[in-house]
Amino acid sequence: MRIGTTLSDSAGPDALERLRDQLAQAAADGLHSAWLSNIFGLDALTALALAGSQVPGIEVGSAVVPTYPRHPVMLAQQALTTALALGGRFTLGIGLSHRMVIEDMLGYSFDRPLRHLSEYLDVLLPLLDGQPVDVRGETVRAAAALSTPRLGRLPVLVAALGPKMLRLAGERVDGTVLWMTGPRTIREHIVPTIQAAATAAGRPAARVVAVLPVAVTDDADAARDRAAREFKIYGRLPSYRAMLDREGAAGPADVALIGDEEAVRGRIAELAGAGVTDFVAARFSAPDAARTRALLRDLAGNNDTETAKAAEATKGA
């Protein structure tokens, strides 16, 4: 199982420099990947292209970019440009977001999300592969071709939790990226559904990227309190609430990986046994940052390669 980390979005005019330094630290620690969400701060693809172009040797991904606000032609163009800036190390993670964002905040219809995503992929995927499209769907339309340079195939992941969305991901893209989904739910629901769909479609085994909060600490109660406060909203959003209910979790703090090194290592091993291909740590507890970082570095098996040295040299440059 590959080990990665999330990147924190920060405010201020030095936000891109801070992002670059986080990415450089992850690469220097020998982590396999680093992921940035696209919410209301930095634009994920622009920020990753700029920061990631200065840090070699680590996969960089979006987790995730909402589909509704960006026409798939425009997203394909931007994603290919980002991949070019990163020398082919970019993985595009996309997702529907949530009704409260898409409909209540942005004014788009959130109706027929499965059809929307299927038609969105009808446009996006051929364009990423250098093919023209002529799609006249019910929710998405496009007749276009791109001349954006390509560096080979660009991997695509879809944020999928429900069975229909998981089947779509297994049939059409490279895998899924998860949030707030515990090991039992991954083992009993996520992995069987997406892998069966991939097999039936004649595709390679799907990549399962699981993102969860992590804190290595001797004060587990305090860390759980911080997790409960920081991630409270995710216990209210319907898609994540459904996964927490499947897990038997009262709230986000119950699926966070919190405890000493042995306890957290065991929880991460449980995810590997559940079929997770990539574990991505969302480090949230500042008092425990050094110990959490050390465990992730150890799990990733950092061998102090030339790439890691180059990334460390980049930090603060």
Using DSSP bridges, classify how beta strands 33-36 and 90-95 pair: parallel, antiparallel or unpaired.
Answer: unpaired
Q: According to the model, what pLDDT value does residue 317 have? A: 46
Residue 10 tokens, joined = 């920060």
Tell me which residue of 193, 192, 185, 194 sits closest to 243, measured CA to CA.
185
Give 89-108 as a DSSP string.
-EEEEEE---HIIIIIIT--
User: Which regions of the chain does DSSP assign to beta strands (E)?
Assistant: 2-6, 33-36, 59-62, 65-66, 90-95, 133-136, 141-144, 156-158, 175-179, 207-216, 257-259, 278-283
Looking at 92-236, list the stretches that DSSP marks H as alpha helix, in order from N- to C-terminal side.
99, 113-128, 163-172, 183-185, 191-200, 220-230
Q: Give the pLDDT score at 306.
A: 36
Task: Kindly list the domain boundaries of the chain, sorted by start residue.
Answer: 2-314
Q: What is the pLDDT of residue 11?
A: 84
pTM reported for the whole predicted model = 0.93
Residue located via tokens 């969305």? 165
Q: Return the CATH number of 2-314, one of 3.30.1360.70, 3.20.20.30, 3.90.1150.10, 3.30.300.30.
A: 3.20.20.30
CA–CA gap between residue 17 and residue 13 (Å, rounded): 9
Instruction: Supply the pLDDT for residue 29.
Output: 97
Alpha-carbon dihedral 214, 253, 259, 312, rounded to 10 degrees: 10
Tokens 């595009």, located at residue: 92
* CA distance linking residue 126 with residue 143, whole number of Å: 12
**Intervals of the chain under pLDDT 50:** 302-317
- CA end-to-end span of the chain, whole Å? 31
Burial of 121: CB neighbours in 10 Å, binned 0-12, 13-18, 19+: buried
Q: How many CA atoms lie within 13 A of 130 on its CB side?
A: 6
CA angle 285, 210, 156 (to 5 degrees): 125
Tell me the two tokens of residue 131. 């093919």
Tokens 């990631």 -> residue: 52
Residues 18, 11: Cα–Cα separation, whole Å:
10
Residue 309: what pLDDT? 45
Give me the phi and psi of 129, to 5 degrees please. Answer: -90, 5
